[in-house]
C-alpha cells in the first residue's frame, strides 16, 4: 500500500471518530463566560456621578449607597414612623367641654288649670261671673284679682251681677263683699268660698 493511500485511510477513519475530551478552546470559552456573569452580577445599577472614584464617591460628596438611602421623597419620613396616626378632626359644634350636648333654653311650663277668660274683661272695682264654671272673679283694685264660688250659700242660686262693691244673688237678695266674699246682706248664712286663680299671659286661669 502506498503512503498516499495509507494517509487517505487514516484521514477517513479519523473523521468518523470524535474526540471525547473537551478541547482547550472550549474550556477557555466556558471560563470566560462564567467570569463575565460574575462581573455583571456584582455591578450596581445605581447611577454614579461622572467624576466619581472607584468607590462611587463624588469629590466632596457621599458614597453612592448613602446618596441612594437619603434620596427618599420628602414627606415619607412621617409615614415611616410606626404607630403614628394623623390627628383626628375636632368634633362639630353643639358640644360643651364635658362632652355633653349644649342645653337648649327650656320654655316655662304653663300652669295646669282652666282658662276662664281674659283678665281685661274684669272691671276694676267690679267683677265678672263665669256661669259655666260657677266662678265669680273680682278686681277690687287695679291688678289685684280675687275669685269666689258663684253659688249662693242660701239655697244654691247662681250670682247674677257685681255692682257697688258687692256680689248679688237674684233669688233672695243676698249680697257678698267683692274683697273677701263675706255676707253683707242675708239671708245667706255664710260667705262665698274663695277660689285660687292666676293671671297667665293676660288670661284668668282657675287652678
How far lies 65's CA from each of 59, 75, 99, in Å? 15, 21, 53
- pTM greater than 0.85 (yes/no): no
Q: How far apart are CA 168 and CA 15, in angstroms?
A: 161
How far lies 1's CA from each of 4, 10, 184, in Å? 8, 13, 185
Rg (CA), the chain: 61
38's grid cell: 460574575
pLDDT in tens, the chain (207 residues): 555 555 555 555 444 455 545 566 655 666 566 555 555 555 555 555 556 666 656 555 554 544 444 544 444 444 445 555 656 665 555 555 555 555 566 665 555 789 999 999 999 999 999 999 999 999 999 999 999 999 999 999 999 999 999 999 999 999 999 999 999 988 999 999 999 999 999 999 999
Per CATH, which fold does 122-206 belong to? Rieske Iron-sulfur Protein (2.102.10)
Domain boundaries, the chain: 122-206
Query: What is the predicted pLDDT for the residue at 78?
Result: 43
Peptide bond into 201 cis (omega under 30): no
Task: Tell me the backbone φ, ψ of residue 41, rounded to 5 degrees.
Answer: -65, -30
Amino acid at each position: 500500500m502506498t503512503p498516499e493511500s495509507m494517509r487517505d485511510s487514516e484521514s477517513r477513519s479519523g473523521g468518523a471518530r470524535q474526540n471525547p475530551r473537551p478541547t482547550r478552546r472550549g474550556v477557555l470559552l466556558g471560563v470566560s463566560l462564567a467570569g463575565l456573569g460574575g462581573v455583571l452580577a456584582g455591578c450596581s445599577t445605581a447611577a454614579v456621578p461622572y467624576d466619581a472614584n472607584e468607590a462611587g464617591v463624588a469629590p466632596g460628596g457621599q458614597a453612592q449607597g448613602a446618596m441612594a438611602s437619603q434620596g427618599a421623597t420628602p414627606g415619607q419620613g412621617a409615614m415611616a414612623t410606626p404607630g403614628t396616626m394623623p390627628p383626628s378632626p375636632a368634633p362639630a359644634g353643639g358640644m360643651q367641654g364635658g362632652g355633653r350636648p349644649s342645653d337648649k333654653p327650656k320654655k316655662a311650663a304653663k300652669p295646669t288649670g282652666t282658662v276662664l277668660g281674659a283678665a281685661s274683661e274684669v272691671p276694676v272695682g267690679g267683677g265678672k261671673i263665669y256661669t259655666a264654671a260657677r266662678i265669680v272673679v273680682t278686681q277690687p283694685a287695679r291688678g289685684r284679682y280675687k275669685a269666689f264660688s258663684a253659688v249662693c250659700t242660701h239655697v244654691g242660686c247662681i250670682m247674677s251681677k257685681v255692682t257697688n262693691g258687692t256680689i248679688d244673688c237674684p233669688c233672695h237678695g243676698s249680697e257678698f263683699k267683692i274683697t273677701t266674699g263675706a255676707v253683707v246682706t242675708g239671708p245667706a248664712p255664710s260667705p262665698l268660698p274663695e277660689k285660687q286663680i292666676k293671671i297667665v299671659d293676660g288670661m284668668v286661669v282657675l287652678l
